[in-house]
Amino acid sequence: MNRFSSIKKSPAMSRSGAIALAAVASAAATAAWVEVQARRAERDNPPAGDFIDIDGVDLHYVERGEGPPVVLIHGNTVTHADFIASGLMDRLARNHRVVAFDRPGFGHSSRPRDRLWTPAAQADLLRAALERLGIERPVVVGHSMGTMVAVAMALAYPENVRSLVLVGGYFYPSFRVDALLTAPVALPVLGDVMRYTVTALSSRLMLKKMAQAMFAPRELPDNFFPVISREMMLRPVQLRANAEDAAFMVPAASTMSKRYAELVLPVTLIAGEEDVVVDPQAHSVRLHDELPHSELFLVPGVGHMAHYAALDRVVNAIDTPLHAVSLDHFTTMTEDDLTLGAEPEMGRR
């Protein structure tokens, strides 16, 4: 008799094996469901614009209007549709040629894994796209993470950017909880598994609260999720893009902040005074102090999504540099300025 034939599996070993098999089966089922949801989201939310192939990236962009060019660069979590939901794109299209990109990995733009998608790399990509589209010296508008891409573009191609309008921007290295929490999601293999399982589920539970935090202390607009599809934001490719961008924020800010003195073009900074996502004092106010020819607007009672509440202020900031007005002051807006029909008054402090 084989002396090993009498060895029997203990009940504990059997249970652990069953639990492991059940966990694998559950993960596989979750991953399949996540993939179905992602494909359905893309089918239900087809591309709203056109595509341009730039260095192996299938870049999606939406273009509207005619006139002096304006480029819109969105932040993390959202897509180009954030500028549609806020009303900014429609307002600008009255007098401008407006182009809003889906940054790599967001919306319908691809995000190849053959490079590190730092703000500088994204700026190079968008600059090449603008050249292909025949857009020269646009006003570049960035929100949140998009401000880093906008600044990187102005630093690398100063002769090709007319002015910058930076809303809710992150400019200096500081501790980021989001970068710490999402770091594993950005990793190959482990991150891939997480984005199709635990992160896919946890993100669904957290997304509404995250969006509410971005708008706080104001209410989340009713049109936010209908315009910016919830499921599009939860696709694994976009979760990876969010995680990678969060991981690059601190080192990119550390590198770029050493070069801010090179920004000699008009810069307008707009930030919500109640922003809990990016501290306006530590970033927008500090950058304004460093740039003598910048303009700063702090919006009272408004959080991270200042381009929704102060739409006219953003539009005016885009138009003003086109008329070569000197920018050298710091304005704190009042509640009366937060209307969509009247231009806020300019003041000094």
Concatenate the DSSP letters of all residues of 264-298 into one string: -S-EEEEEETT-SSS-TIIIIIHHHHH-TTEEEEE
Q: What is the pLDDT of residue 196?
A: 81
For residue 249, give both structure tokens.
């924020």
Report helix, strand or coil for 10. Answer: coil
Tell me the mean pLDDT per 10 residues along the chain, length 349: 51 64 72 88 95 97 97 97 97 97 98 96 98 97 98 97 97 80 75 82 92 96 96 94 93 97 96 96 97 94 96 92 43 46 32
Picking from 183, 222, 219, the residue whose alpha carbon sits closest to that of residue 199 is: 183
Are 225 and 211 in contact by the 8 Å Cβ rule? The answer is yes
Q: What is the pLDDT of residue 242?
A: 93
Burial 5-36 (b: 16+ CB within 10 A, else e): eeeeeeeeeeeeeeeeeeeeeeeeeebeebee
* Bridge partners, residue 58, by sequence: 53
For residue 347, give both structure tokens.
């003041």
Looking only at the bridges linking them, the beta strands covering 97-101 and 57-64 are antiparallel
Instruction: Tell me how far apart the terminal alpha carbons of the chain are, to the nearest angstrom.
Output: 95
Q: What is the pLDDT of residue 19?
A: 67
Q: What is the pLDDT of residue 32?
A: 86
Report which DSSP code applies to 95: T
Are 322 and 315 in contact by the 8 Å Cβ rule? The answer is no
- Helix, strand, coil percent values for the chain (each to nearest 5): 50, 15, 35
Are 102 and 78 in contact by the 8 Å Cβ rule? The answer is no
Q: What is the pLDDT of residue 183?
A: 72
Q: What is the pLDDT of residue 324?
A: 39
Q: Is the pTM of this model over 0.95?
A: no
- Helices vs strands, H then E, count in the chain: 14, 9
Are 190 and 166 in contact by the 8 Å Cβ rule? The answer is no
CA angle 158, 163, 169 (to 5 degrees): 100
ω into residue 217 within 30 of 0, thus cis? yes
Looking only at the bridges linking them, the beta strands covering 163-167 and 139-143 are parallel
